Every structure is written in C-alpha cells, then in structure tokens.
Structure 1
Amino acid sequence: MTGAAPTEPIASRDNPRFKRLRRLVEDAGAYRREGVVWLEGDHLVRALLASGQRPKAVALTPAAAPLLTELRKQGLPAEVPLWWMTPALMGQLSTLASPTALGALAPLPAVPDLSAVAPTVVLDRVQDPGNVGSILRTAAAMGFGQVVALKGSAALWSPKVVRAGMGAHFALRLLEGVERAALAALRVPLLATSSHAGVWLHQAPLPWPCAWVFGHEGQGVDAALLRQASLSVRIAQPGGQESLNVAAAAAICLHASAVACGGHAPPDDGPMLRRSERRL
C-alpha cells in the first residue's frame, strides 16, 4: 500500500509481511537468505537515502506519518511500498526499550571485490554485535573505507550490528565470512594490536594506507595473523587495566592513523559517501 495510512493497519502476527520482518529481526543470518536488510528507525533510513539508495519497503505505524513526510523531502520515492502496522505489532520488531515507529527493508548490497590498496580494517573473530557496529562506525569516520570480517566474526548486516553502526554500513565496502588466506591479496601493510608486545602506539611510525587487524574479545588477534603483521603495536594504559575493549582499542588505533596521515585520507574506489554527507 503506497497511499495514506489505512483505517486498519496490519495487526495480525500471521500476516506474511510481519512474519518476514520478524525472521529478519530474530535470525542474525536471515538477510543472506532474504536478500534484504532490516533497518530499525528513521536515522538508518535517512542514511540509506543519503547514500543514494532506496528501500524496498517502509514499515511504520500511523504515528510515524510526520517522519514519513520528512523522508519524502529527503528523497524517499512515492512508489516505495508502505506497510502500515499497529504500534503493538511494530513493537515486536524491536529489542529497544522504546521501540521506533518506523523501519525499512533495504536491498542487501552485492559483495564487492577486495580492494588491495584501500585503507582497511580486518576483524578477526570479533563476535559481539555492538563491538562490530562500533568499529564500523569508527572506520567510516577515520577514513578506512573497507572492512573485512574473517570467518567467525559477527554477521555484518545482522540487525544488531546495523543498529550499532548507525549508518556507517552505507559508507563502507564490506566483506564478511572471508578466509584468512585472502588477506595475502592486500598490498598495504598489516598492523596488529597486542596487549603485551609490540611498539607503543604513540611511538610507532604508522604507514598510510594500511590494514589494521582487531581480534577476538577474549583471545585477541590470532597468532598466525600476528606473525603476518608488518607492525605489532600496544596501547599505553597508565591506569593499569589488563586490556581494553576491542571497540575502544580500534577507535584509538584508527584515530592514530588518521592523525598520522594528516587527517586527509586519500579516496579509494569503495562506495564512500562524500565527507559532507557523513552524518554518523
């Protein structure tokens, strides 16, 4: 339905549209089978539109009509189907304390080829969706246009990762389920983090472009990857904690690289947004 809100929005849990959305929300890997990604909240829909893409459908409650008006102004085509739902049904599609009144189905992007020269972030079995989404957001902000998730890492387009990424997905070249051997194709130096060995980050000569490797929350970067790295660094922790959260460590390292290259990362051939459009 593409017109105004109907008198009676979808209210049944047996409705095929609702059942499809629920599969996408509850199954972290369902997007691969469905070919679409669930975007919860108008912020993510705005990020999609800003990247020049359009949703396949918008799900919303009658109370979200003002948000719909704003999205129209930002380029949401009139022909995109609208799936009106009751607030109770819409609430079942959210894990947030305050469920949003609007979401959308976005087409799952085609898997890009690995760019051998792009500034890159490699995720080595990083499993927490919040950490992965946060790292994606930092990567986009710091000029790292490509993220490679090795096998064992959280699904990059799962609802929790997408929500934590806050729109960064649409500014990045994303590859997931990648075998470690594929990293041999990178023609940029591989940098790895370690909690106990390596050069201090604040003293390290950081090359640009480069590929940063961030490892599993408990085990860190795999030993074989550490041996492949051109440079292994550790972060000074004068407070004496044993280790940093991987998303926090990534933010520190990626910012250090951005500063080292003068804050002017050269563009790569990935689907990056113009800097003026990065409202992350």
Structure 2
Amino acid sequence: MKRPLSWSMRFALALSAVFAIGTLSAGGLSYLFLSREMSQRFLADVRSSAESLARIASTGDRTDLDEEIRAQVRSSRNGASLFAFVDAASGQTTGSLRLSAPFEGARRLLVGRDIPAGAPKQADSAEAYLAFGIRTEPGWVIAARDEAWVSENGEILVQTTASSLALAMVLSIGLALIIARRNERRIDRMDRVLDEVGAGRMHRRIGDGGNDDIADLAARVDQMLDRLETGVEAIRQVSTDVAHDLRAPLARLRMRLEPQALSGTLPADARREIGSALMDIDAISATFDAILRLARLQSGTVGRRHDPVDLV
C-alpha cells in the first residue's frame, strides 16, 4: 500500500505553491511596470528629439534646421532613428523619413504601411517606429525611432525575470522539501521509540537535538517516558517486595497447618479443609515465585533458560 504524503510534505508543497504563485505575480507586475516605464522613457526620448528640431525650426533658419537633420541622420546610420521636416508652403520633405502626410503628436508607424518597405535609410530589422510630430510655423518636424530597442529590452527583461523566478522557485521548493524530509525523519524516530517503549524497552528515548517545536515536543515525550519508566520500576519493585515479604509468612503458615493435616485425631472434614488450605497456600507461593522470577529476568540478574515445552 502506497504511503500517503505526510503533513510536513503537504505543508511544504502548499508553501512552495503559494510562494510560486506570489513570485510569478510579483514578476508579472514587475514586468508590466518596467515595460510601461521603458515605453514612457522611449516616448520621452522621441519627443525630446522632435522638440529639439522644433526649436530650431521656430527660429526660421532653414539652413540650421537642414544641417541639424543631416547631422542626426548621419549619427543614425543603421536607420534606428528617422527624422523629417515637411515644409508647410511647398510640402517638400527633408530628412530620412518619408510620409504620405505630416501629423502632430505621438503615432506608431508600421513599415510597409506608413513607411515604405526597403527605404534606403530604414533599419533592416525594423517593423515599426514610434514617431512624434510637432507643428511649427515653417512646417512639421517629425522624429521617429525603431521600436526594436523596446522589444529587445523587453525580451531581456522577460528572460532575466524568468531565470530569477525559476531559480528562486527551485531553491524554495528544494529547501521546503529538505525541511519536510528532515521533519518526517524526526517524527518517524518518535514513532519507532514509542513502539519500542510499548513493546517493553522502557529505556528507549527520542533524544532530538533540534531547537524547534518538534524538539520541544520530543523533550517532553522523553520526560514523560522517564516518569513512566520510574513508575513502572516502582510498581515492579513493590510487587517484588510484596512477593518476597509474603513468602516467609506463607511458609510458616504451611508448616503450622501441615502437621494438623497429618494428625489422626482430627476429624475428616477438618482434615479436608486444612488440605484445601494447603493447596491454596502452594498456589499463592507459586504465584509469588513466578513474580520474583519475572523481576529477576527483567532486571537481568539471572540468565534465561530455554527448555522444551509440550504445548499439548
């Protein structure tokens, strides 16, 4: 029959499950908060780039604006960042970003729909850009950045969080199982000792050397076994003393009654009564002798003798 899980093991597994749920929940919330924080910072960077171009455009100096856009385009040779200025009067676009129509505010631009696929300045792995447009008096300034940075950092965050959570769960479950197995062994020792004491080996003790609740319980059980052994020994000693002290009076009583039973002057009825009394005295003496023999055997003062016995 398969042994059911002990309370310690069930408690360890339940505690590990609660820890795993809590850890996964904390990891999920951390991922959501960090992802939102990265997205907000990403948008703030794109907006800051657009505002920097907008300040130059507001001065009305197109030369400085064109030079700044070309400098920004040169600094982003991999196409991770795109910039554009759309002239309000002519509609002409300057920069690395080509759009069908300018816009204001934040917008997500998909490659192939909002941005022509395979554009010369576009990043090869780019799938979408986060853009921010600002309307100035000369026209619109737009800055866009590849969202791959956010997704890559999100993947790194997921991998790091998942690895940390997995390690923490493995360590917590392993530690819980180790503690549970240790408690099971200690409780099994208590069971064995109690079984042995019940079988008559009164000297057995648990002797748990821990410093927790189980150790305190084991110490109290050992104290109870000490008192039990003392009580049993006292009862055994009293029985031995009573049996020993009564043997002599019974022997003297038998010596006094036996001549009366053998006397020819005594009536037959009285002789039978004395004979019955002598048989009772012999039975009591045999019982006391057996008590004394058991006491000597339990104390180990005499060796055991093995003789064949006819069970029939």
TM-score range (shorter-chain normalised) is under 0.3
Q: Normalising by the residue count of structure 2, what TM-score does the alignment of the two structures yield?
A: 0.18
Q: Normalising by the residue count of structure 1, what TM-score does the alignment of the two structures yield?
A: 0.19
Name the one with the larger helix percent.
2
In our comparison, the structure showing a higher alpha carbon Rg is: 2
Tell me which of the two structures has the higher relative contact order, counting C-alpha pairs closer than 8 angstroms and 6 or more residues apart: 1
Name the one with the larger strand percent.
1
